[in-house]
Structures are given as C-alpha cells and as structure tokens.
C-alpha cells in the first residue's frame, strides 16, 4: 500500500495509466475510485501524523512572558500559546483530536466572557488566586487544580493575584468541528454576572451528597473545580495502603459525582502518583494522551523517545504508541485524552505489555 494515497496493493499500477481518462470523466461528476484510497481510509492499525513530543517548561516560560509584553488579553481575547504537535504543524492540535495551549494572564487583567460548544479544561500550572467564572459562579484557581468549562457555559477569567497565572487549556473543538456542531457567542458585557457564592458547586456536589431536589441534565460534572489539595491527599493516602499498579502507579480518574462517569463528556482526565523509584511497565491505548507534570522528576519512554521531565513540563503520547513511566522522586502527573468519546463509541482498545 502507498502510505499517502492508500491505493490497494491489488491495483495494477501499469493498468492505472489506461484508466486516467475514466478517472477524469468520473471526477468531473464528483465521483472518485475508492480502490485508490481505501487503505488510507481504513488502516490496519491507528495511523496518525501526531508524534511523541515534550515541552520543557523552562524553555516555554520565557515565550509566555514575552507574549505578555507584546499583546494584552483584551486584544488577544485569550493570550494562549498553542502546543502544536510537531507532526501536525499549523493544525492547533496536540493529538489527532485534542487542543492544548498555555494561557497566561497578568495581575489586573480580565479575559472577557464568551461561550462556545467546545468544552474546555484548565489545569493550573503556576500562580495563585486568578479566578474563572463559569455559569454565574467564581472559583479561585491554585496550582494543580483541574477546572472545567462545560459546553455553552459563559466563562471569563481575571487575575486578582499579584503574579502571572499560567494554565493549560485543553479543548475538544476538533471533535466538535468534525461533527459540524460548533457555535460561539461573545457576552454582551465584559464579564458575566455572579449569581452564586464561591464554593456553591462544591457544597452541592463535592461532599458525596447531592441535594434531593436538584435535577441534573448536563453530561458534565456539576463540580467545576477539583482542587489539588484534595486530589493530592487522596493519592498520598491511597499510596500508603493500596498495591501500586504496575503500569500506572497510583492512578485515579476524575469523576462526575452524579453519574460516576468521566467528569467531562468528551475528555477523560486523571491524576497519578508514581512513587519514588517506580519503574512502570509499558502499555498502549487508542487514546492519544497529554501529560502535565505536577510534582517530581522522572522519565517516560514514548515509542522510541525518552522524555526526562520536571515540574510543569508537558508531553504527549500519540494513539497506540507504547508508554512507560519511571520516577526519580515521588512524582505526580495530570493527564487527559479523548477516552470519554472512544468508550462511548465502543472504539477504545488498550494493551498492557
């Protein structure tokens, strides 16, 4: 098979010249021969141009700070540097299906309110006390927090702290766009009205209790900030009594407390603790996955590549590429992928090697 065209091996290439007139005449009627593209459309195994990649935060950060000197949040709407997969330049993709970017907001700045069909996750990298407001409620964000903006909810951000705030934005707009389902609206005001006290969502749904008179219609978790303080404590407590998983260390998934399913309908999210000296076994899965290093140092072998990572680094494991983690210190990794979609469609495959 020709890797680029997907032409079938059974097709006689010498005979193809004699068919070119037919291809032209059929093409004029917007008809094309499947046998020239079939194996590129339906591949034996996952084929993606997405490659393993690693962004060292020490090398990324100066560019974020330079962007702050060059453009305001007002002008940019969102001051984000896109993490472009090197195999997919210009596509605003970190995996085949997902977006990742690093957003920076300076003290006193506001990122104006808007809403869109794409869902977003924020994973806080550095800084303290910037807020995001989602559907009428504010939450202040701290490093390691996992924050959700559900589809079509108004959201604006502001930095009321004293230092630049940086977070990773993960979005599913490529999935939304694939389906032709994109909508976006700017808010008539610069920021939305705040209608609920800070902490309301956590009180309603974050304590293993749900109000008896609440009806849940959204496929997204009602918790929109999963604070690192609580996540970290859960992982460390778990690690004291529970056997370590040979592939993942101590790995937990973020759940929607209403359904027990993923916190978001499209993007699956996890946090894992790799105890000091952990030497993981390799595994692979069909969901290309983005990792953010929260704490500690370690190494991940991704296909043939070796990534030696440190706090705030980001790396990506493409679909079906084996990955194997090891940790020098107690290390904590956040990750997200399109697994929530793949599971719903019955497409997910995973191999523990």
Q: How far is the CB of 231 from ligand 1HN (least distance, A)?
A: 21
Asked whether position 176 contacts ligand 1HN by CB under 6 A, the answer is no
User: CB-based contacts of 313: which residues, under 8 Å, 6+ apart?
Assistant: 54, 55, 56, 57, 292, 293, 307
Select from 133-141, 166-174, 224-232, 243-251 the region that touches ligand 1HN (CB under 6 A).
Answer: 166-174
Asked whether position 80 contacts ligand 1HN by CB under 6 A, the answer is yes
Residue 192: DSSP 8-state = P
171 or 323, CB closer to ligand 1HN? 171
**Closest residue to ligand 1HN using C-beta atoms:** 169
CA dihedral (170, 175, 176, 178) in degrees, to 10, reads 150
Cβ(208)–Cβ(257) under 8 Å?
A: yes
Asked whether position 109 contacts ligand 1HN by CB under 6 A, the answer is no
> The tokens 């984000």 sit on which residue?
80
**Within the chain, where are the H helices?**
13-16, 20-28, 38-41, 57-70, 73-76, 173-178, 200-205, 228-241, 339-344
94 or 317, CB closer to ligand 1HN? 94
Please list every residue from 85 through 104 that binds ligand 1HN, using CB under 6 A.
99, 101, 103
Q: How far is the CB of 40 from ligand 1HN (least distance, A)?
A: 29
> The tokens 């970290």 sit on which residue?
232
User: CB-based contacts of 94: which residues, under 8 Å, 6+ apart?
Assistant: 50, 53, 83, 84, 85, 100, 290, 316
Q: How far is the CB of 157 from ligand 1HN (least distance, A)?
A: 6
Asked whether position 155 contacts ligand 1HN by CB under 6 A, the answer is yes
Six token digits for residue 293: 């290093």
Q: How far is the CB of 301 from ligand 1HN (least distance, A)?
A: 30
Asked whether position 171 contacts ligand 1HN by CB under 6 A, the answer is yes
Of 120, 147, 263, 321, the one binding ligand 1HN (CB under 6 A) is 120
Give which of 29, 109, 45, 43 is closest to 71, Cα–Cα: 109
Please list every residue from 40 through 79 that binds ligand 1HN, using CB under 6 A.
78
How many residues at the interface with ligand 1HN, by CB under 6 A?
A: 12
Six token digits for residue 304: 């043939």
Asked whether position 174 contacts ligand 1HN by CB under 6 A, the answer is no
Asked whether position 169 contacts ligand 1HN by CB under 6 A, the answer is yes
- Summarize as ranges the residues that interact with ligand 1HN (CB under 6 A): 78, 80, 99, 101, 103, 111, 120, 155, 157, 169, 171, 173
């Amino acid at each position: 098979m020709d890797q680029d065209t997907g032409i079938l091996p059974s097709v006689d290439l010498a005979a193809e010249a004699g068919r070119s007139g037919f291809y032209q005449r059929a093409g004029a009627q917007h008809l094309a021969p499947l046998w020239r593209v079939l194996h590129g459309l339906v591949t034996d195994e996952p084929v993606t141009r997405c490659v393993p990649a690693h962004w060292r935060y020490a090398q990324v950060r100066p560019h974020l700070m330079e962007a702050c000197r060059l453009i305001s949040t007002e002008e940019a709407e969102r001051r984000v540097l896109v993490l472009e997969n090197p195999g997919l330049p210009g596509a605003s993709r970190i995996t085949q299906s997902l977006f990742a970017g690093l957003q920076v907001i300076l003290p006193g700045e506001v990122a104006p309110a808007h809403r869109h069909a794409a869902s977003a996750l924020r994973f806080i990298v550095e800084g303290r006390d910037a807020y995001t407001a989602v559907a009428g409620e504010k939450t202040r964000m701290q490093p390691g927090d996992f924050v959700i903006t559900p589809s079509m909810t108004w959201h604006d951000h502001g930095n009321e702290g004293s230092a630049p705030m940086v977070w990773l934005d993960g979005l599913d707009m490529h999935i939304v766009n694939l389906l032709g389902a994109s909508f976006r609206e700017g808010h008539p005001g610069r920021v939305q009205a705040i209608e609920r006290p800070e902490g309301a969502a956590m009180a309603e749904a974050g304590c293993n209790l749900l109000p008896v008179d609440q009806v849940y219609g959204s496929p997204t978790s009602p918790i929109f900030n999963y604070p690192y303080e609580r996540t970290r404590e859960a992982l460390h407590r778990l690690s004291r009594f529970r056997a370590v998983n040979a592939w993942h260390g101590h790995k937990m998934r973020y759940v929607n407390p209403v359904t027990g399913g993923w916190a978001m309908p499209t993007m699956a999210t996890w946090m894992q603790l790799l105890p000091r000296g952990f030497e993981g076994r390799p595994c692979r899965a069909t969901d290309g996955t983005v990792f953010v290093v929260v704490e500690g140092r370690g190494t991940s072998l991704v296909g043939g590549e070796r990534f030696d990572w440190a706090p705030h680094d980001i790396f990506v494991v493409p679909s079906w590429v084996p990955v194997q983690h090891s940790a020098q210190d107690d290390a904590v990794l956040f990750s997200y992928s399109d697994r929530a979609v793949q599971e719903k469609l019955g497409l997910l495959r995973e191999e523990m090697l």
